[in-house]
A and B are shown apart, each in its own frame.
Chain A
Amino acid sequence: MEDLVISLSRWQFAITTVYHFFFVPLTIGLGVLVAILETIYVRTNKEIYKEMTKFWGKLFAINFAMGVVTGIVQEFQFGMNWSEYSRYVGDIFGAPLAIEALLAFFVESTFLGVWLFGWDKLPKKIHLFSIWIVAFGAIISAFWILVANSFMQAPIGFVEENGRLIMNDFGALITNPNVWVQFPHTLFSGFTTGATFIAGVSAYHLFKKQREEFFTKSLRLSVLFGFLSVFLVVLVGHTQGQEMVKTQPMKMAAAEALWDSEDPASFSLFSIVDEKNKRDILSFRIPGVLSLLSYNQFSGRVEGINQLQARYEQLYGPGNYIPPITISYWSFRIMVGTGFLILFIFALLLYFIIRNKNPFQYKWSKFLPFAIVLPFLANSFGWILTEMGRQPWVVFGYLKTADAISKNVTVGMVLISLIGFSLVYASLIGADIFLLQKFAKDIGQPGLDTSEPMDFWEKGE
């Protein structure tokens, strides 16, 4: 029965977290972009930028509410389902969560209220200040929650006392090298998500030749911002991989389906593994490339699953220390693959913008709006890799997920909450998407720029 409680609790955590993280990166990205638009409005005083701020701001607000309410579950479920975990690490893990609420949630929610309801009540500059505070609040929030998560990946700044981990170095906690790769990676992914969203919606309208000035301006801003962001995501992601090889080699070995240590290590192009019998069913590998990714040179030992398993058994006692390989392997590939696809799309659009050519004269541009889903895939699978690749640990090297569960919680209780949350999440995502597409398509009254059909791209060919 306890096994069932563990799996159900894990499912609930996974569903809640992945669901919550649909909204968070979009909030981070859209927040900054809306703030930039309002800044342009305040500086130039051009009505169209005010309209743009309101248009994208409305989509931002719909999405923000979903992030807030799922965030409460996120904070409460550590105590509800994972109380042994909370007892064991609360001394350290609770601190960044409390700081996040105090430093970030308060400013975000207070100033968002001021921003949404204060258009006519505040001087322009204070109104603008409010949205920047909201945008920074979201970024600060990301930092503190990643301080907490980084502790689970690479524990630091504590001693073990009476069966609990006790914080003894707060500085170490916030300078954890893991945070300083994870935070920028997540931050720029958020920027990319917001930019892709704006670019995708703008592409939808531009293909239909609706409100061309409005959406061309939106597209240009989002493509520039998105290209830089996704480029930085890739760059930081590379460093993050190198950090992972150092602190959590098992995660990298699983993500690469690398059974035995290699030097130089090969990169898997396509692998299907038989996890039970610890062997490849099918595997194509490029020699040396994994060493290159890990150490920036074509040599260097990358440890394999079998050797790490043997070492961990010596270190931590008998047990299975191998995370789910197929999930880690494919999550890694989906994340990286969609990441590069986004980079390619932004590079392509940037090329058109720089050459001042209209991409919407081509049929393929009809498919550009579908790119909106790509960052969501990359974000979700990135987290699935991060969390699944750490298994069987919840705090790497210190506490196993199976030992983190609440002892008094029964199968019936978790079933009720799992079903309840899932039903609510499913219906809300329906309502959310309904509203998002409604307002993304709603271009309003004939605006300032629709009186004359205009061409904002150079006449091509």
Chain B
Amino acid sequence: MDLNTIWFLLIATLFIGYFILEGFDFGVGILLPFLAKEDVERRMIINAIGPHWDGNEVWLITAGGAMFAAFPQWYATLFSSFYIALFLMLIALIIRGVAFEFRSKDESPRWRKFWDWAIFFGSIIPAFLWGVAFTNFIRGVPIAENFTYVGNFWDLISTFSIIGGLVTLTGFILHGAIFLSLKMDEKLSERATQFAKKIWLPNLIIVVIFIVETYFFTDILQRLGVNPGFVPMAAVLSLLAVGWLVANKYAGWAFIVNSLVIFFSASTIFIILYPRVLVSSINSALSLTIYNSASGPYTLKVMSIIALIFVPIVIAYQAWSYWVFRGRIVRDENSLHY
């Protein structure tokens, strides 16, 4: 395996980690106004992700940094061509992050309501946009010679990419609902489970539509064949299993298997892409690949050594932080932190 492939795998890992982790806290943010009936419940819900959302978001920041370092042409082309979409995502992430910190620091109901909706919109916008973005990666965007993007914002919007957005949106809501059924006290946990049951079927239907569309709008047939192989199959089968696990209230298993759904689905996208990183809809020869968009071998080598040392350390202490805050959130004013 060459260094370019290793970096492709590493960036794929960072994005998959990001979707599994931030996926549930996006879902929790979206569910916040609907599941909670009173202020103490809203605080319980926020407390469930309070210690983690920021660490989860760093997976994205690191993925961005890794793209910049290992595949600067990919980073430059992607970020400039998805300009308006990224701008919307940044605004959403800004108000969301601040909202978590600010909302409980003033008693006024208007203040809290404002930030609760900031959390909602700050979660729903990126949850949708990520699906749009990844659909466009495989569908292709108008890239001409010298990696120059010749389209505009509207070229990123199609029925296919909107369905893709709905896949991540409903998927993350399901993920968040399952997470809350695992973390909340009995009353709230029950409500979260009911919500997970309700969102599961729409999520499944949208996923199926997306898969069908994939055969029309991408070159998946040439790349993977009619039988796409283990990974995409595993994604669908795990999603079916999640439905059963949620219905039978195996919250812990449901969360693990739904994380596998995200793992297998996102992996499928990266398998379709490889070795390309951004497909050109103008001419496949103009696509960005892990070779024509990469940094020099020296940079890749230095960065590989650093990643090899530090990625396991990061995973270890993040896992430890989840272990510290294991267990359900207690409905008790005094034990809830802000």
Contact = CB atoms under 8 A, between A and B. Distances in A.
Interface stretch (A249-257, A264-272, A276-284, A412-420): A412-420
A109 B58 contact: yes
Contacts of A416: 84, 87
A116 B337 contact: yes
B256 interface: no
B52 A75 contact: no
A380 B216 CA distance: 53
A398 to B, nearest CB: 15
Nearest to A166: B296
Interface stretch (A80-88, A315-323, A370-378): A80-88
Contacts of B314: 102, 106
Interface of B is mostly: helix
Contact of B325 (A83, A92, A121, A170): A121
Contacts of A76: 64, 79, 86, 90
B306 A102 contact: yes
B91 A91 contact: no
Contact of B105 (A66, A114, A406, A439): A439
A79, A86, A91, A421, most chain B CB atoms within 10 A = A79
A438 B106 CA distance: 9
B152 to A, nearest CB: 8
A408 B156 CA distance: 14
Q: Chain B: interface residue count, which band?
A: 35 or more
Interface string A413-442: 100110011001000100110010011000
Interface stretch (B65-73, B228-236, B239-247, B269-277): B65-73
Given A101-B62, A109-B57, A167-B299, A69 B94 contact: yes
A434 to B, nearest CB: 8
A95 interface: yes
Interface string A84-108: 1011011111110111111101110
Contact of A109 (B55, B73, B83, B299): B55
B102 A435 contact: yes
Contacts of B321: 110-111, 113-114
Given A83-B79, A421-B91, A102 B65 contact: yes
A98 B94 contact: no
Contacts of B78: 79
A122 interface: yes
A330 interface: no
A107 B95 contact: no
Given A80-B87, A121-B325, A435 B106 contact: yes
Given A66-B98, A120-B335, A435-B105, 19 more contacts: A87-B72, A90-B68, A90-B72, A93-B68, A95-B295, A95-B299, A99-B303, A101-B65, A105-B58, A106-B317, A113-B55, A114-B321, A116-B50, A121-B324, A407-B80, A408-B81, A421-B90, A421-B91, A439-B105
Interface of A: 61-62, 64-66, 68-73, 75-76, 78-81, 83-84, 86-87, 89-95, 97-103, 105-107, 109-114, 116-122, 161, 166-168, 170, 406-409, 413, 416-417, 420-421, 424, 428, 431-432, 435, 438-439
Interface of B: 47, 50-55, 57-58, 60-62, 64-70, 72-73, 75-81, 83-84, 86-87, 90-91, 93-95, 97-98, 100-102, 105-106, 147-150, 153, 295-296, 298-299, 302-303, 306-307, 310-311, 314, 317-318, 321, 324-325, 335, 337
Closest 5 CB pairs of A and B: A90-B72, A79-B79, A94-B68, A94-B69, A113-B51
21 contacts: A64-B101, A65-B101, A79-B76, A84-B76, A86-B68, A86-B76, A87-B72, A94-B70, A102-B310, A113-B52, A113-B53, A113-B54, A117-B50, A120-B335, A161-B296, A167-B299, A168-B298, A170-B298, A413-B84, A421-B87, A438-B105
